[in-house]
Amino acid sequence: MEHLSEFVTNHWMLVTAFCVLLGLVVASTITTATGIPPQEAVSMINREGAVVIDIRNAADFKAGHIIDAVNFPLADLAQAGDKLKKYADKPLIVCCTSGNLAGQAARELKSQGIARAFALRGGIGAWRAENLPVAAG
């Protein structure tokens, strides 16, 4: 244990960098792990009437989105709480391009009082990778 404290003292910058990187890896893992995979999303849509909230911009949404998805760009999501209250009794599945922003958006919806908000793990890219249906327009 004496050697560890000596190492930390002599190499404090290296230890600090290691701790920061470790924290980023843990945070990334936690954020990614909280999402639901596309097949579970399909099950929620079919069995519970879940509503898909697509947070991509309008152009990306028109290029291809999950069937019956509702488009609320991420920038407008903070003010969308009242509009989304009509879906409060159903699960909401938040979708983005790659799944990176969906977790943040799901947390925002939960803070607005929507208890059952989930992020689609991997986003629309994972949805397409599993050959699930996509609508355009």
Catalytic residue numbers read 96
Q: Of the candidates 40, 57, 48, 43, which has an alpha carbon nearest to the alpha carbon of residue 119? A: 40
Mention every residue, 6+ apart, whose C-beta is less than 8 A from residue 132: 38, 42, 66
Joined tokens for residue 104 = 């943040």
Joined tokens for residue 45 = 């849509």
Largest Cα–Cα separation, the chain: 66
